[in-house]
A = this chain, B = another copy of it.
Amino acid sequence: MASTRQHPNGVDKRRLILDAAVRVFAQQGFHACRVSDVADEAGVAYGLVYHYFDSKEEILNTLFTERWQIMLDAIVDIDRQEVPARDKLYMVASFIIDSYRYDPNLMKVIIVEVTRAANSFGRQHLEKIREAYQLIAGIVESARVDGSFKSDISSDFAAMCFYGAIEQLLSGWIFDLMPQQDEDFERAKGLVVETICGGLEAPSASAPVS
């Protein structure tokens, strides 16, 4: 693989290929598209793709790893703040949802081709994916310790539910099963946290008796 040095003319072909790949993978799917589609979309010769990447998979690898690490770092940052767990979870949800809003194609590729394809391609990234669950679990765990979250729901379990709910929402948007205006995204951030932290049941319905 060549270095990422960019040419005097100011065009970084490697980046060009990665960006083109996002569009092509998102539209046609990783398996369905041909490497030549990516090259064409990037306005670059077929062979150049293999100058910068060892294989078709390595392109997807790169896209995933780049973006996922940014998310992991963001969650770590969020967890450092001195705010209630619920606020932290809101920030996590915000970050993920905004990631989709900012670059839906990239998030679509990451979720559809990696995160939710753990059987084929995602397998080699299971550990990184797991890290995200564990970071979320960490947020929940400290709330369990300080008593603000129920102790009978394990933090690992809670993390899976929380992350699963968010990913399902993204899937809903990706496949046009849910409306995606700006307001929908904003509302979703609050609602997913309200659902997971506060629950669906009306407060009055079954008054908590502890």
Chain A residues packing against B (C-beta within 8 Å): 29, 31-32, 86, 108, 112-113, 116-120, 126, 130, 133, 140, 143, 147-154, 156-158, 160-169, 171-172, 174-175, 177-178, 188, 191-192, 194-210
Contact = CB atoms under 8 A, between A and B. Distances in A.
B199 A161 contact: no
B31 A120 contact: yes
B202 A158 contact: no
Contacts of A191: 152-154, 157
B202 A149 contact: yes
Contacts of A168: 160-161, 163-165, 167-168
Most chain B CB within 10 A, of A117, A130, A149, A169, is at: A117
A112 to B, nearest CB: 4
A166 to B, nearest CB: 8
Nearest to A199: B199
Contacts of A206: 148
B120 A200 contact: no
A172 B197 contact: no
B201 A130 contact: no
Contacts of A31: 31, 120
The 3 lowest CB-CB distance pairs between A and B, nearest first, are A164-B168, A199-B199, A203-B208
A196 B200 contact: yes
A199 B191 CA distance: 12
A169 B119 CA distance: 15
Contacts of A32: 120
17 contacts: A29-B119, A29-B120, A108-B119, A113-B119, A149-B200, A149-B202, A150-B198, A150-B202, A157-B169, A158-B200, A161-B192, A161-B195, A164-B166, A196-B200, A197-B200, A198-B201, A204-B210
